[in-house]
Amino acid sequence: DGGITQSPKYLFRKEGQNVTLSCEQNLNHDAMYWYRQDPGQGLRLIYYSQIVNDFQKGDIAEGYSVSREKKESFPLTVTSAQKNPTAFYLCASQNVDEQFFGPGTRLTVL
């Protein structure tokens, strides 16, 4: 059963804490992406990776970090430097032109 999984579905964080969002895919896709979505808004690109051990900043990378040590995994860390981290985070992988999305993680900062 191929697809993209994200965990956890809901995440609560205290101010000043770093948290890591998981994204795993078994679709054998090279490219993976992280997006942030705020209420009533579109998707804004945080980071993307087109190959293992390489990644690039997107439009809103400040306060976030990623790693791509394995093809299947692209975790996103939301650091304490991110001033307004409460949002819905979506991970995607890509096959040629089409993106496949995970179910998302809703992060709330308390």
Partner 1 sequence: SQQGEEDPQALSIQEGENATMNCSYKTSINNLQWYRQNSGRGLVHLILIRSNEREKHSGRLRVTLDTSKKSSSLLITASRAADTASYFCATDATGGSYIPTFGRGTSLIVHP
User: Shortest gap between Cβ of 103 and partner 1 (angstroms)?
Assistant: 5
Distance of CA 108 to the CA centre of its chain: 15
User: What residues from 81 to 110 belong to the interface with partner 1 (CB under 8 A)?
Assistant: 88, 90, 92, 94, 96-104, 106
Shortest distance, position 42 Cβ to partner 1, whole Å: 4
Site for partner 1 in 12-71 (CB under 8 A): 35, 40-43, 45, 48, 50, 59
Distance in angstroms (rounded) separating the CA atoms of residues 64 and 44: 13
Between 77 and 94, CB nearer to partner 1: 94
Question: Residue 38: which H helix or E strand, with range?
Answer: none
- Which region, left, alpha or beta, applies to residue 23 given φ > 0 means left and ψ of -120 to 50 means alpha? beta
**Strands (DSSP E) along 3-42, which ranges?**
4-7, 10-13, 19-25, 31-37
11 binds partner 1 (CB under 8 A): no
Residues binding partner 1 (CB under 8 A)? 4, 35, 40-43, 45, 48, 50, 59, 88, 90, 92, 94, 96-104, 106
